[in-house]
Structures are given as structure tokens and as C-alpha cells.
Amino acid sequence: MDDNGTDTHCPYCSLQCGMRVAVAPGGGAEVRERPAYPVNRGVLCGKGRSAAEVLRPEARLTTPLVRDGRGGNLRPASWREALDVAARGLADVRARYGPDAVGVFGGGGLTNEKAYQLGKFARVVLGTANIDYNGRFCMASAATAHRRAFGLDRGLPFPLADIARTGCLVLVGANPAETMPPAVRHLRELRERGGTLIVVDPRRTATAELADLHLRARPGSDLALALGLLHLVIADGNVDGEFVAARTTGYEEARAAAMAHWPERVERLTGVSVSELADAARMFGEAGTGMVLTARGAEQHSKGTDTVGAWIDLCLATGNAGRPYSGCATLTGQGNGQGGREHGQKADQLPGYRDLDDPAARAHVAAVWGVDPGALPVAGRSAYELLGTLGLDGGAHALLVMGSNPVVSAPRAAHVTERLGALDLLVVSDVVLSETARLADVVLPAAQWAEETGTTTNLEGRVILRQRALDPPEGVRTDLAILRALAAALGRPDGFPYDPEAVFDELRRASAGGPADYAGISHRRLRGGEGVFWPCPDEAHPGTPRLFLDRFAHPDGRARFAAVTHRPAGEEPDAEYPVYLTTGRVTAQYQSGAQTRRVPALNAAAPGPFVQLHPRLARRLGVVDGEPLAVTSRRGRAVAPARVSEAIRQDTVFMPFHWPGEGRANTVTNPALDPASGMPEFKLCAVRVERAGEASPAAASGAGAAR
């Protein structure tokens, strides 16, 4: 590393902002700007600026931990002992119950190399079908809808900078002003160029404050809203008939579905007035170009796939797909949420975004791995199905967790915590002693983003290289080294290199010819550059910043309309639980908060959970700002201070999900799954809201069963 630092990327969200990491004058590390990187042009949010804080030894794990017997305490151990306990435990469970009794749970923050190697480890070493990752909780519904419509899923099928040049942008369930602040400049540039911004959100967020039109739709009604807008676009004569005829199939079925969602019906379903619906349909339908960007607010529902499909239908009908400065896309959440789902840590997929049930895909990947295609397991359980059956008959009895904290992040989290406690063996590899790691039998301290080299794929499909800037503390190993050691201990000493470039070169071969083709991308090519957009089939190929300009990825080259219809959420308010709960993020914390809650400046900005509610609801409850409020669902009870605000609907309360303990929002959330994607319904459940002193504690808070 030179005096100016080493070029790398932020460890947090899917922007993967460029930064430099340098040795601080007083020792340790510091983050510096990297203005040349195009995604953020040097701008960093508070999380990015303080990212080096988590590199401090006092903030993290620096030695393996092993639990002394059932119900004993975690104690420091040598690497040899920790790996031996983990390997013997995994082998024992596999021998007693069969290979599928060993589960693997990965993370959307793992590099492409780690995600690839974890999937290979699960299927080749353990022989288990039961591997999935926390990205199933993020982009799964959008990915499923995009593959159905376009034949391919890449978060943004265009560079982020194109957003500023579209005529009308619709953000559905997205709040980038708080979740990815450096991206807001693209929204501001859009407005400066004369473009129009529509935001769909039940809360008046910082992003909604920027909008020309804010549609404050009822939680769970985005599907009806999209169908209502399509109805009006058709009625107003703003369908691009030439595009529909030349580049799509299924329009007549989608048209018939939309015609059943007339404005007055949609007003009743969504709470959005007919006049606002008409304004939105006109703004989008009459714009020369248009984009729809969905995020978790629209996708984390038991009908998330159909919801995204309806917004895609709106884009297809107006000709806003497969053309410059147009399209339907998703704002990927986690740092490597895109690459993490492309290379094999998802239950139903092999590297290169290949389908696990495709014989040709199995043969290709098996040849790269040097195994018989028939030896590869079939698709296993999706994330919540895997976690919710731990320790039960037919479920996994041992679990390896790498880079995830489901005790805080999973829906119906108290139940998941109980299931983790019922395992014969829990092994966790992580940077910090997360709430999940505290339950483990073996904890393995892993190196961090600035201490290892590896690639990630940002929300645009841009593959980038995080370069090692400094050495990890003594006693810490990389996840690749951990997987190599476990594989060797389980009888597979070969085929699991710990050099990230060697792993990536194998990933390139495994992905070659697949939907997410990385064959032409290399560490050498990425060093010092701006990244390469996949697909990139060979080293002479420039990459593909914009997809679908000539044809969509289905064999006939046409996009598919979804032809979906509105249906209720998995759980609607009733007399006993009369209020909607929705969840989300705040600017200063990230995901389960396992890392950001260890940064003093971020904790000062966002010290704990809260319940946002409308003043009228607060008056009805007799609650004042800051008073403890109990939020109770059929699954449990969470308590946090009231935050009274007119920025939220009167029938809805909001909780951020970054904290454990009694304020854990996911104690109460509903694990109802989207039947196509396996996405749980994080964004909507029915709750009862009361002053904490008056609320019945009968619904347990589910703080967790200690091992």
C-alpha cells in the first residue's frame, strides 16, 4: 500500500462505493475519498466514512471460540481445536442423519469467490442440498419476476448514471436517500434535467421529499397500484403498440387483468386517490422514456414476485424496456447481493446463474469441479424453510453460517432462535461476535473487506475488485482459508484453494456460457479500473453495461407480460390486530447492525429501535413521543420508544430492524412466503399497538433460547 492508500470498495450496500484505505497517522486504518470511481465520485455516506472503525481489534473477533459442552460457555481456543470440533461435528451429523441434515447459510456480503466456494463446499464436500443465503430475504422476488419477464436477472440492466437521463422515474418501496445516500445525486440530476420523480411509499421518507408526486399507498397494495396505473395507461391510449407487437408476448392477457382494476377499485385497495392515480399514469405514460425501480418495500411480500411483474408490465406496455434510459429494475440491497445469488450459494442455482435442475448446467459445473453430475444434490429448502426446520425431523441438525446474523434478520426471529438452539452443532464464521455467533458451538474469526482481496458485483452488474489494503490481526483467517481447512479435515484436501485469484479463475470457467458469464473478467483486468459489466464472455469483450437493447434473454428474444391480479397479503389487519406494521432501515445502521452497532459515531446517530406512528394514532393510544410502545403480532411482542410523526399513514406503524433484544422488529414479522421466490413477508403484518405498561406480555418477546 502506498502513502495514498489502496483502492478498494465500501463493505456495505450494493453501490459498492469506491474508496481508498490508508494507514492512519496514529496507526490503524482510515478511509479516504476515491473521486475517479464513477458510481459515487468520491462521495461516501456515514457508514462508508467510518468503515475502518470495525477493523479495530477491540471491535471484532480475533480468536476462535469453542463452547464447553451443552449449555457451557464459549471460550478461546486454538484454530486446530476449533476446526477439529467443527469438522468432527459436521461429519458426525452427516453420518447419523444423512448429508441433507447438514445445512449451510451464507450471506449477501460475501465476495463472489466466497459465495462460489461456499456453494461448492456444500455440494461437493458435504453433499447437502440444504444451502441458501440471506439474499433470499432481499432480492429474491425481483429476481424471479425479472427472469420470468426478461429471461435474465441483473439488478439494473443499465448503468446507475442512466437514471438521471430518463423522462420519468418511479421508485416503488425504495428509500435511497437513507439506504444508499450517494445515489441521491442521480435523482437530483434527473430533476435538474427536467425529468419527473414519482415515489410510492406509505411513509413520507427523505426520498419522498424529493418527489414530484408521492403516492402514499397502503402497505401491501403495490400490486393493485401497478395494475391500476396500467389500466389508465391503456385507457389514455399511451400503450406503445409497435413495441408490444415486435418485442413482447402475453399482452392481451395482461390487458384483461389490468382492465379488472379500474381507478375507483384501486383507490379503495390502495388509499391513493383517483386523481393521484390519473396524474401518475399521465406522467409516466406521456414521458418519452421511463424507468421503474422497485426495492424491498414492494418485494418483501408473499406476492412480491407478482407485484414486480405488474410493474414490469407497465414498462412493457409503454415501451419502456430494452431501450436507452428506460427499463424496470431493482435496487439491490446487500453489498454483493447480485453476485451472491449468481454463483451457487442459493438453494436452486449453480455458478453462472445456472439452474440446478438443468442437466446441461449440472454437467458443465460438475466437469469444472471434477465430480459426477449425478453426485450433485438437487435443490434444497429456501432460507426461511431451512432455518424454520432446524433440529426437527427432516430438517438440518448441523448448520454452518458464514457472514449472516439470522437471529436478528430472519422473520419470526424468536422461532428461528429457538431452532438454532435445537441444533446438534452450530458453526459460525464472522467478523464480529454477532447475536447468532453467541449461540454457536464453534465461532471462527474471519478477515474483513480491507484485509483480503476479492470481487463483488454491484447493483448495476458491474464486477469490481476489493483489494487487500492491510493485514488482518494475528489469529484471524479468511473465509476461503477456513473452507479449505474444513474441506481437508472432511477428506477433500484438493480443489479448495484459498488464494482468491485462483478461486475466481475457477469461477470464470464455471460461469462460462451461463446467463451470468464472467469468463472474460479477471483480477488482472479489474485492478485499478472501474469494473466490468457482465455478461463478458471473453477477455476481448468490453462487458455489457446495457442489456436487452437488441433482444431479451428468452430463446425467442421477446419479453413476457405477467398477467397478474391483486390478492390480499398473507395477513391483513383485523379487530384483534388492527394496525399495519412495516419495517425498514435507517441511514446510520446497516442490515442486522452486527457491524455498524460497533461504531460509536453511527450509534450516536441511531442509538436504538423506535416505533414511528401518526399523531392521530398516538392520541388514540394516549402515547407521547419517546414513551415505550409495545407492538404485538401473532408471533410475538417488541417494545421500543414511540416516534410521533405525520410522515406515516394513520393505519400504519414503522420499525427499523437493526437491533436485537426487546426492540427486535423481526420478532413480530410474518414468515408467509412468496410461492415463487421463497421471499418472506417482512414488509407487512397485522399488529396491536399499546403503551408498554398496559400491554399484555402474554405474547413472548422471543429474546432467544440460550444454548
Residues of the chain above pLDDT 70, percent: 98
Mean pLDDT on 374-391: 97
Is the Cβ–Cβ distance between 8 and 30 less than 8 Å?
no
Residues of the chain above pLDDT 90, percent: 95
Given pLDDT bands bounded at 50, 70 and 90, which one contains residue 69? Answer: confident
Given pLDDT bands bounded at 50, 70 and 90, which one contains residue 453? Answer: very high
Q: What are the grid coordinates assigned to 286, written together?
A: 406521456
Given pLDDT bands bounded at 50, 70 and 90, which one contains residue 702? Answer: very low
Q: pLDDT tens for residues 582-640? A: 999 999 999 999 999 999 999 999 999 999 999 999 999 999 999 999 999 999 999 99
Q: pLDDT tens for residues 646-658? A: 999 999 999 999 9
Given pLDDT bands bounded at 50, 70 and 90, which one contains residue 1? Answer: very low
Per-residue pLDDT at 696: 57
Is the Cβ–Cβ distance between 419 and 385 less than 8 Å?
no
Per-residue pLDDT at 2: 54
Per-residue pLDDT at 350: 97
Q: pLDDT tens for residues 490-539? A: 999 999 999 999 999 999 999 999 999 999 999 999 997 899 999 999 99
What global pTM score does this model have? 0.95
Query: Is pLDDT above 60 for 698?
Result: no
Mean pLDDT on 314-318: 98
Q: pLDDT tens for residues 96-138? A: 999 999 999 999 999 999 999 999 999 999 999 999 999 999 8
Query: Do 6-59 and 579-694 have matching folds?
Result: no
- Please report, for the chain, the start and end positions of each structural domain, with discontinuous segments joined by +: 6-59, 65-137+338-453+471-516, 140-330, 579-694
Architecture of domain 579-694: Beta Barrel (2.40)
Question: Check: CATH 1.10.357.10 for 6-59?
Answer: no
Assess whether the previous peptide bond of 675 is cis (omega < 30° from 0). Answer: no
Mean pLDDT on 410-435: 97
Q: From 1.10.150.110, 3.40.50.300, 3.40.228.10, 3.40.50.261, which CATH number describes the 140-330 domain?
A: 3.40.228.10
Is the Cβ–Cβ distance between 646 and 614 less than 8 Å?
yes
Ordered DSSP codes for 497-538: ---HHHHHHHHHHHHTTSSS--TT--HHHHTTS--EESP--S
Per-residue pLDDT at 31: 95
Question: Check: CATH 3.40.50.740 for 65-137+338-453+471-516?
Answer: yes
At 108, phi and psi to the nearest 5?
-75, 0
Between the CA atoms of 675, 677, 683 and 688, what dihedral angle is there, to the nearest 10 degrees?
30
Is the Cβ–Cβ distance between 495 and 33 less than 8 Å?
no
Beta-strand ranges (E) seen in 24-154 are 29-32, 65-67, 74-76, 102-106, 131-133
In three-state secondary structure terms, 232 is: helix
3-state helix, strand, coil in the chain (%, to 5): 35, 20, 45
